Chains A and B, each alone.
Chain A
Amino acid sequence: MTAAHPSPAGNAGHNVATAQLATGSSGSDCVVKVGGDWRLSTSVPTWKELFGQHTATDVRVVSDGLGKWDSSLLLFLLHGRAWCVESKHDFVTEALPENLQNLLRKVVESGTPKPKAIPTATGLSERAQTLAMHFSNVTKENISFVGECALGFVSVLKHPRNFRWMDCLVEMQQCWVSSLPIVSLVSFLVGVILAFQAAIQLRPYGAAVFVADLVGLSVVREMGPMMAAVIMAGGIGAAFAAQLGNMKVDEEIDALETLGISTVDFLALPRLLAVTLMMPILALYANVLGILGGMFVSATMLNIPAAAYWVETQNRVGLSDVTSGLIKSVFFGLAIGLAGCLRGMKCKRSAAGVGQATNSAVVTGILLIVIADAVFALIFNVLGI
């Protein structure tokens, strides 16, 4: 009865691991002879294969030309031992090499440790309680951060000389440089799409020239500021969160705090101001590109000359439409900056934490933008702007 294994291809230089079963001298016990090279990387005999349906007996393991061995043999012996212990038989390994015996003894003594279960709230009410606690803590943190930023703005107005204008300028430049190409492309395309859709609807009624009105109004009031803000949330908001998060991980934020420097004044305010100031400028730029997109479609598809399109746009789109869009975009900028800085400064101290902070900065930013837009739609409606 043998359970020898064929040597795997390409491993011809080594002896095959073997385990042979023989009846012992007394007749009531078994002798298992292990030999060859036992390696985890090759296939080795298993206890199950060797004993199969064999009825349990006392087992003695002896070495029979045992070569190199590693954890695979240890595992084999442990399985054997478990098999014997279960049926209350002896498992004798005294004839094995001493270091192997020592190792086996050590593993058996220490037992196989099971990972400790982390206590988790199981009951529904308990879970709801922890969730509510967490939510209230986070809300408190967020509100106090917004409050600190507001106080910071007040103190900037009082002592403008203490403000880090240079940092603010650098961030403004960063906003501009990194978002300009993508804002150009997206706004132009949005203009094109709006004009195209409008043209299909309006042309059958001979009202093609009103494409200019429709594109002009929707771009200036909604799409321009919105698109610019969403792009900034994805670019600058994420960048803020990643920068500040990384500073937190590297203890740079701690280093500022132990110097008694307010991290809100030092890190958050310059960024917040930069994005708040840049947002309306970018929105204005997005408006121009959107109208150009509409103009392009009208000129090529509807044969409306650019000059006529422009006159129509000017007639319909008033200053109040443009300003309402720009006012909104100031608040969009504020939302993006707050979300980015807050998530970055509350980041967990790990690489994964920075990833989460970035993700959540973008999500929060876009959510706040949409909410702000809805609120402004309501306000402007009431005011009749």
Chain B
Amino acid sequence: MNPNPSAPVIEVKNLTCGYGETVVLQDVSFVVHPREVLLVIGGSGCGKSTLLRCLIGLLKPFQGDVAHFGRSFTAADATQRREILKTFGVLYQNNALWSSMTLAENVSLPLEEHTSLSRADREEIVTLKLNEVGLSGSEKLYPSELSGGMKKRAALARALALDPEIVFFDEPSEGLDPITSREMDRLILQVRDILGTTMVIVSHQLSSIFRLADRVIMLDPKTKGIIAEGKPKELAANSKDPRVRDFLNQDTDSAKPTSRTPEVATEVHSP
């Protein structure tokens, strides 16, 4: 698929995007390398999901270009677009499992659409994929019958159905308890190690950022762009930008006892 093994998987050039007349991101450029886990981080509302929607072609950028494996996504016609769409999987913030279908049907639909496999083969692959994410035996369940963690796993199984080169995640550990969230992170790394999939993950959970990231890019709503790029540990220790240090050092910050005044006046005992 990729002739040059070290060529970037995704190349974003001077991307400007937003909704209607509001610009959310301005002039953003970066690349994603093969087999890396890249985290897009930043506070709520800084445009992480918006960037992701541009990368997967759901949002047309105002300006600039997104290229997957050297093929421009923004300039692609219908057939080229379909080819590109086949090469990645997406795990949405709300899981986006099709609620009227069973898990098996959910995982099977991408195969039905993009391959000419026989029904029996498809079923076998579905079982395999559900097994990979630890959901074997849940084929006949509907999404509404699953817990939050199971839904995420099912969504991952669906994203992996076509053995994509890239998987995009929007807040994979949102709404999960810390233990389930850690399991999810482990699963993501396991998939990367076994299948060599490139992962682009949007997250604001600090624990996940340090566990997962090979590299992070940090967005900021005021700058409307990237304010830092690098390894999370190095950025936390050495970044010159106080916003970056603050974001990445939240744990140590709150651990220190400080004599802060309450933000809101609730009942307080006077000494």
B and A form one assembly = yes
Mark A residues whose CB is within 8 Å of B: 39, 63, 66-71, 74, 97, 99-100, 102-103, 106, 247, 249-252, 254-261
Query: Quick one: given A69-B268, A103-B265, are A259 and B109 in contact (CB under 8 Å)?
Result: yes
Docked Cα-Cα span, A257 to B270, in Å, equals 59
- Please report the C-alpha to C-alpha distance between residue A250 and residue B95 in the assembled complex, in whole angstroms: 8
B230 contacts partner chain A, Cβ-Cβ < 8 Å: no
Q: How many angstroms between the C-alpha atoms of A240 and B200 in the bound complex? A: 34
B86 CB to nearest chain A CB (Å): 7
Interface residues of B in 78-128 (CB under 8 A from A): 81-82, 85-86, 88, 90, 92-99, 109-110, 113-114
Q: In chain B, what residue has the closest Cβ to A105? A: B261
CA distance A247 to B98 in the complex (A): 8
Which residues of A lie under 8 Å from residue B82 when comparing CB positions? 260
Whether the Cβ atoms of A255 and B96 lie closer than 8 Å is yes
Q: A254-B58, A258-B56 are in contact. Are A70 and B93 (CB under 8 A)?
A: no
A247 surroundings in chain B (CB, below 8 A):
98-99
B177 lies within 8 A of chain A by Cβ: no
Q: Does B269 contact A (CB under 8 A)?
A: yes
Query: Inside 8 A of A258's CB, which chain B residues have their CB?
Result: 56-58, 85, 88, 90
From A63, A68, A250, A251, contact of B268 by CB (8 A): A68
B23 to chain A, nearest CB (A): 16
B268 A99 Cβ-Cβ under 8 A: yes
CB-based nearest A residue for B155: A255
Q: Nearest Cβ in chain B — how far from A263, in angstroms?
A: 12
A255, B90: Cβ atoms closer than 8 Å: yes
Could you say which of A39, A254, A255 has the most chain B C-beta atoms within 10 Å of its C-beta?
Answer: A255
From residue A325, how far is it (CB to closest CB) to chain B in Å? 34
- Docked complex Cα distance between A67 and B267 (Å): 10
Decide: B271 and A97 in contact? CB cutoff 8 A: yes
B113 proximity list for chain A (CB < 8 A): 259-261
Which residues of the other chain, A, contact B86 by a CB distance below 8 angstroms?
260
Q: Scoring B residues 235 to 271 as 1 if CB is less than 8 Å from chain A, else 0, what string do you get?
A: 0000000000000000000000000011011111111
Range class of the B interface residue count: 20 to 34
A-chain residues with CB within 8 Å of residue B114 when the two chains form the complex? 259-260
A74 contacts B265, C-beta separation under 8 Å: yes
The contact of B261 among A69, A106, A251, A259, by CB within 8 Å, is A106
CB distance from A348 to the nearest CB of B (A): 12
Q: In whole angstroms, how far apart are the Cα atoms of A199 and B63 in the complex?
A: 71
Could you tell me the distance between the alpha carbons of A53 and B101 in the complex, rounded to whole angstroms?
74
CB distance from A194 to the nearest CB of B (A): 41
A-B interface, 9 closest residue pairs, ranked by CB to CB distance from nearest: A251-B96, A260-B85, A255-B96, A71-B265, A251-B92, A102-B261, A97-B270, A260-B82, A70-B267
Chain A nearest CB: distance from B20 CB in Å? 10
Complex Cα–Cα for A71 and B58 (A):
47
Q: Do A252 and B96 touch (CB < 8 A)?
A: yes
A281 nearest CB across to chain B (Å): 24
The chain B residues found within 8 Å of chain A, CB to CB, are: 53, 56-58, 81-82, 85-86, 88, 90, 92-99, 109-110, 113-114, 158, 261-262, 264-271
Given contacts A103-B262, A106-B261, A255-B96, contact A68 B90 (CB under 8 A): no
Q: B269: which A residues are within 8 A, CB to CB?
A: 68
Known interface pairs A68-B267, A260-B114; A251-B56 also in contact (CB < 8 Å): no
Residue of A nearest to B161 (CB): A259
Tell me how far the C-beta of B41 lies from the nearest C-beta in chain A, rounded to whole angstroms: 21
* Alpha-carbon distance A157/B47, docked complex (angstroms): 43
Task: Evaluate contact between B85 and A70: CB separation under 8 angstroms.
Answer: no
Most buried by A among B58, B88, B261: B261
Cβ contacts A to B, 27 pairs, < 8 Å: A69-B267, A70-B267, A70-B268, A71-B265, A74-B265, A97-B270, A97-B271, A99-B261, A99-B268, A100-B268, A100-B270, A102-B261, A250-B99, A251-B92, A251-B93, A252-B97, A255-B96, A255-B97, A255-B158, A258-B56, A258-B58, A258-B88, A259-B85, A260-B81, A260-B85, A260-B86, A260-B113
Q: Which of A67, A71, A99, A249 has the most CB of B within 10 A?
A: A99
Least CB distance, A107 to chain B, in whole angstroms:
8
Checking A70, A102, A250, A256 against B266 with a beta-carbon cut-off of 8 angstroms, the contacting residue is A70
Q: Which B residues are in CB contact (< 8 Å) with A103? A: 261-262, 265
B64 to nearest A CB, angstroms?
20
Chain B residues, Cβ within 8 Å of A252: 96-99
Closest B residue to A257 using CB positions: B58
Residues of B within 8 Å of A255, CB to CB, are 90, 92, 96-98, 158
When A259-B85, A260-B85 are in contact, do A99 and B96 touch as well, CB less than 8 Å? no
Point out the residues of chain B lying under 8 angstroms from A250, CB to CB.
94-96, 99
The residues of B that contact A257 with a CB separation of less than 8 Å are 58
Q: Which residues of A contact B267 (CB under 8 A)?
A: 39, 68-70
- Cα distance, A102 to B265, chains bound together (Å): 11
Chain B residues lying within 8 Å of A74, measured Cβ to Cβ, are 265
A66: contacting residue among B81, B97, B270, CB under 8 A: B270
- Tell me the complex Cα distance, A29–B67, Å: 74
Contact (Cβ within 8 A) A251 B94: yes
Return chain B residues, CB-CB under 8 Å to A256: 98
Instruction: A99 to B264: give the CA distance in the assembly, Å.
Output: 12
Closest to B91 in A: A255
Distance, CA A256 to CA B92, complexed state (A): 12
